[in-house]
Amino acid sequence: MGDTGPMTEAMYYVLLALTRPDHGYGLMQRIRELTGGRVVMGPGTLYGILTRLLREQYITLRDEDGRRKTYLITERGREALLEEYRRLKRLVEDGRELEDEN
Amino acid sequence: MKTKYAFHPEDYCIGENERFYSEMAARGWRLAGRGQYLSRFERGEPADDVYRIEVDYRDFPEDRLELYRECGWELVTKRGFVNVFRAGAGADAPELYDHPEEQAETIRRMRRRDRLTNLLVLALLLPYLAVLVSLGGGPGRLAAEMVYLTVNLPGVPAMYTVLLIYAILLGIDGSVRLRRLIRRLEGGLPLDHTPKRRGTAHIWAVIALVALCLGAVAAELVTYRKTEPMPESSDGVYITLADLGFDGERRGILSPEDRSRVEKVWTPVADVTLVWETVEHAGDWVSLDQDVYRLRIPALAEPMARALMARSDITRDTAEFERLEVPGWDWARASEFECFAARGGTAVRVYLFLPQNTSPPQERAEVFARILTEIANRLDANS
């Protein structure tokens, strides 16, 4: 994924959560919901990822009221997310026979 | 409000600092500020506060602080790279970093900055050393200055050495620890927030430095100096021009202040006798300058004699010095005007200024040998 290296799980979820506009704390709640509480993202982790995604133009700043910034995924980010989704899907499909064995 | 100060671990000991502040809070001391070496605490109720450190030399933007605040983390204080956040026990604040590799990036930035600082220090230090060396006439001159200082003011080189060692060790320690931490985080292991308490080496270094400063001041205070007019005949470990056959009236060359005199100096390392004598002889000036260092550390005798020689302002080119064999002296060198020698625990410098046509240089070597022999006799008599 650009200069940021392979997409990490944290990046994947941030991009996924930003398919609708949200601010930092809202994003953390959304990711928690999306993963059924499996991923509780820390503010340090989240802020680092947002900074990098902004730099890579995978997300954009939608709104800013000083204390809170609202972000949204860009077209470039959506393509990267979709590509990662397809890659993960292929991985899951490739491993489906494991389930069949059980 | 009651406050107290305590030494904190080094900046790069992140987990150690977090644990330190949490333990202080549990004892009723809430962090209020962080300085270079000390942190300030205010008295409060014992609390199970959790402390976490974010490393970033820039000020946090407001939206980032707001995000941390919404998660239960309040910025307490910032000093350099160290930003200390606190969360109350009931705040249920999530860890700042659930993905260790994300935290690794912040530590990498700290290390890059740390390296840059080290390089800058080195860049500043190297030209400084180069200037010292070139001004001094070579690396030997620098070593000579250190030996000379050790004898005349022992606290200064000791402090300089400790400071240098401290800076080097701290640099190495920080570099190794940060490297180890980055590897741990990159490997997916989270930072250890409650490590065994370490990272306090600098505290002892600071205490040692303060002690050395006090020691240096004390050494200077106890250094004893006494200057007296020169007696008619020698009453110590030196000779007079009359002993060499130069009779005449004693007087200053430039002013009454530089009249013939004997100065006795006591330092923790040496008993020093500094003698300056000028006489008017046969219508011309003759001067004799003798510095006799009786050292409490005998091994310093030859290094001190060599240091005195390297520091010579009269004979700048060391090639002009020739070996001088004098019974009773282990090491001796002489030029046209000066000689330097060492034996047992004694180092001497002798400067002899004779009128232009008094004698050719080879005979001066004989004069120096004679002076050294006379001084040796007096040293033996005084021992």
Centroid of chain to Cα B17: 30
State both tokens at A57. 């133009």
pLDDT in tens, B188-207: 999 999 887 665 666 676 77
Domain boundary among B222, B240, B269: B222
Answer whether residue B383 shows pLDDT above 80: no
Question: Can you give the residue range of the structural domain that contains B159?
Answer: 100-222
Tell me the average pLDDT of chain B: 85
Q: Hey, where are the domains in chain A?
A: 7-95
Q: Do A42 and B101 touch (CB under 8 A)?
A: no
Instruction: Spell out which residues of chain B touch residue A67, defining contact as CB-CB under 8 Å.
Output: 62-63, 66
Residues 6+ apart with CB under 8 A from B91: B72
Q: Write down the pLDDT at residue B159.
A: 64
Lowest-pLDDT choice from A48-62, B137-151, B266-280, B324-338: B137-151
The fraction of chain B above a pLDDT of 90, given in percent, is 44
Residue B149 shares a structural domain with residue B180 = yes
- Domain edge (last residue) among B222, B255, B276: B222
Statement to judge: residues B271 and B371 lie in one domain? yes
Do both B205 and B257 map to the same domain?
no
- B56 shares a domain with B174: no
User: Does residue B304 register a pLDDT over 50?
Assistant: yes
Q: At B257, phi and psi to the nearest 5?
A: -65, -25
Task: For residue B139, name the pLDDT band (cuts at 50, 70, 90).
Answer: low
User: What pLDDT, in 10s, does the model give residues B310-321?
Assistant: 888 787 777 788
Confidence of residue A4 (pLDDT cuts 50, 70, 90): very low
B315 and B352 Cβ atoms separated by less than 8 Å: no
**B184 and B253 housed in the same domain:** no
Among chain A residues, CA nearest to B63: A67
Highest mean pLDDT among B24-33, B150-159, B230-239: B24-33
| B169 & B256 share domain | no
SS3 content of chain B, % helix, strand, coil (to 5): 45, 25, 30
**pLDDT over 90 (residue A80):** yes
Q: What value does the mean pLDDT take over residues B218-228?
A: 76
Tell me, what's the ipTM?
A: 0.88
Q: What is the mean pLDDT of residues B286-306?
A: 92
Say whether B341 sits in a helix, a strand or coil. strand
Selecting from A25, A64, A69 the residue whose C-beta is nearest the C-beta of B70 gives: A25
Structure tokens at B61: 């933007």
Residues B210 and B242 reside in one and the same domain: no
Residue B134 has pLDDT above 70, yes or no: no
Q: How far is B172 from chain A (nearest CA, A)?
A: 28
* Confidence at residue B329, expressed as pLDDT on a 0 to 100 scale: 95
> Which two structure tokens, joined as six digits, stand for B256?
């009454």
Both B288 and B160 in one domain: the answer is: no
In this predicted structure, the answer to whether residue A63 has a pLDDT above a threshold of 60 is yes
pLDDT of the residue at B150: 72
Contact residues, A window 43-82, toward B, CB-based 8 Å cutoff: 43-49, 64, 66-69
Number of H helices, E strands in chain A: 5, 3
**Is pLDDT of A1 > 70?**
no
Is the domain of B375 the same as that of B284?
yes
Q: Which of B113, B128, B122, B95 is nearest to B18 (CA)?
A: B95
| Angstroms from B41 CA to nearest CA on chain A | 26
Q: What is the total count of domains within chain B? A: 3
- Rounded to the nearest 5°, which phi and psi values hold at B104? -55, -35
Partner A contacted by B59 (CB < 8 A): no
How many beta-carbon contacts under 8 Å exist across A and B? 65
Asked whether residue B248 falls in the same domain as residue B378, the answer is: yes
Average pLDDT (B195-220) is: 71
Contact A43 B96 (CB under 8 A): yes
Helix, strand, coil in percent for chain A, rounding step 5: 60, 15, 25
Q: Judge: A42–B96 Cβ closer than 8 Å, yes or no.
A: yes
Of the residues B188, B222, B256, the one at which a domain ends = B222
Chain B residues touching residue A25 (CB < 8 angstroms): 66-67, 70-71
Closest Cβ–Cβ partner in B63, B66, B105 for A48:
B105
If asked whether residues B167 and B301 sit together in one domain, one would say no
Q: Does residue B123 share a domain with residue B255?
A: no
φ and ψ of B60, to 5 deg: -70, 135
Q: Specify whether domain A7-95 bears CATH 3.30.70.1060.
A: no
Highest mean pLDDT among B15-29, B146-160, B261-275, B281-295: B15-29
